[in-house]
Amino acid sequence: MSKKIILCNCGGERISQERIYTIEQELVRSNMDVIMISDLCRMSALHKEKLCEIFRKDGEYLVIGCYERTMKLLLEQAEPAVSVDNLQFVNFLESTDEEITRAVTSATSTEVSQNSSQTGSMEEVTTPSDWPSWFPVIDYSRCTACGQCADFCLFGVYDKTSERVTVTNPQGCKYNCPACARICPQTAIIFPKYKSGDAIGGSGFIDEISEQKRQTEDINSILGGDIYHALEKRKLKRRSIILDEALNKAIEERKDALLQS
């Protein structure tokens, strides 16, 4: 039995659309069933149910996208979470076109390779949105629920309890701002579309010593010497922003009501 191919079109800036097109054409020539997802990040954040429709429990899949660590974390956000037991991942950020071709070829069953008359299918699954799908993803295998990210964020992206921190408002995140990940003491936060890659970009290779040094430098740079005082000031500022937004909304609603009366 051959695997079904899943290709993420990314939508980010780390891989060119020309290369995506080259990979897509190679998949067409493979005569396999291919599903091209316009943006796995956006789908995991806004259309969780679609992931379950694509990844059937009894199917085997070859998933071509960014870092394996990132893709697994995104699939875990489906409702219910997608099991990765029957999934093979290929990282197009670090793999050559030849390596991707070999992975596709090995995923092709003997029956398909011997039957040249058999043709596959290409299905596109789009998630239209103007949102660039820039948001944090938490790696709970590393997270200690310290809540530092939630205290730092001014835009209500996170929610925290004594047991767990969750991303509840991904669309509230400010584009190209990975600051919460930079000050995370456990390197537990990734931004899938972070152009510089490395641990914050979702790489599975984490140089713990280098990360500790970088975190110390970033914390001093972003928060200054007194981290607890700085985070308390951030929390107060966040409350002020929320109150201002609520007040502005109330004023607009009052204007609308007066116009209609």
pLDDT tens column, 155-198: 889 999 989 999 999 999 999 999 999 989 999 999 999 988 78
Look up the pTM and report it.
0.80
From the centroid of its chain, how far is CA 104? 23
The domain tally of the chain equals: 2
Distance CA 169, CA 60 (A): 32
Per-residue confidence band for 154, with pLDDT thresholds at 50, 70 and 90: confident
* Domain extent at residue 144: 137-260
| Same domain as 170, residue 60 | no
| Same domain as 176, residue 114 | no
| Same domain as 158, residue 235 | yes
| Same domain as 155, residue 113 | no
132 located within any domain:
no
| Same domain as 115, residue 13 | yes
| Same domain as 10, residue 111 | yes
Share of the chain residues as helix, strand and coil, in percent rounded to the nearest 5: 45, 15, 45
Per-residue confidence band for 246, with pLDDT thresholds at 50, 70 and 90: low
Going by C-alpha positions, the residue among 61, 55, 70 that lies closest to residue 10 is 70
Is the sign of the CA dihedral 240, 245, 250, 252 positive or negative? positive
Place of tokens 């537990």: 188
| Same domain as 256, residue 174 | yes
Q: In the chain, what is the greatest distance between 2 CA atoms, to the nearest angstrom?
A: 74
Among the ranges 159-163, 189-193, 222-226, 233-237, which has the highest mean pLDDT value?
Answer: 189-193
Q: Is residue 238 predicted with pLDDT exceeding 70?
A: no
pLDDT tens column, 57-104: 778 899 999 999 999 999 998 888 888 888 999 999 999 989 998 998
Amino acid at 140: Y
Distance CA 181, CA 175 (A): 13
Per-residue confidence band for 110, with pLDDT thresholds at 50, 70 and 90: very low
Higher-confidence residue of 33 and 108: namely 33
| Same domain as 74, residue 178 | no
Amino acid at 59: G
At residue 4, the 3 state secondary structure works out as strand
115 located within any domain:
yes
Identify whether 80 is preceded by a cis peptide bond (ω within 30 of 0). Answer: yes
Tokens of 159: 């929610």
| Same domain as 108, residue 145 | no
Q: Is residue 113 predicted with pLDDT exceeding 80?
A: no
CATH number of the domain at 30, please: 3.40.50
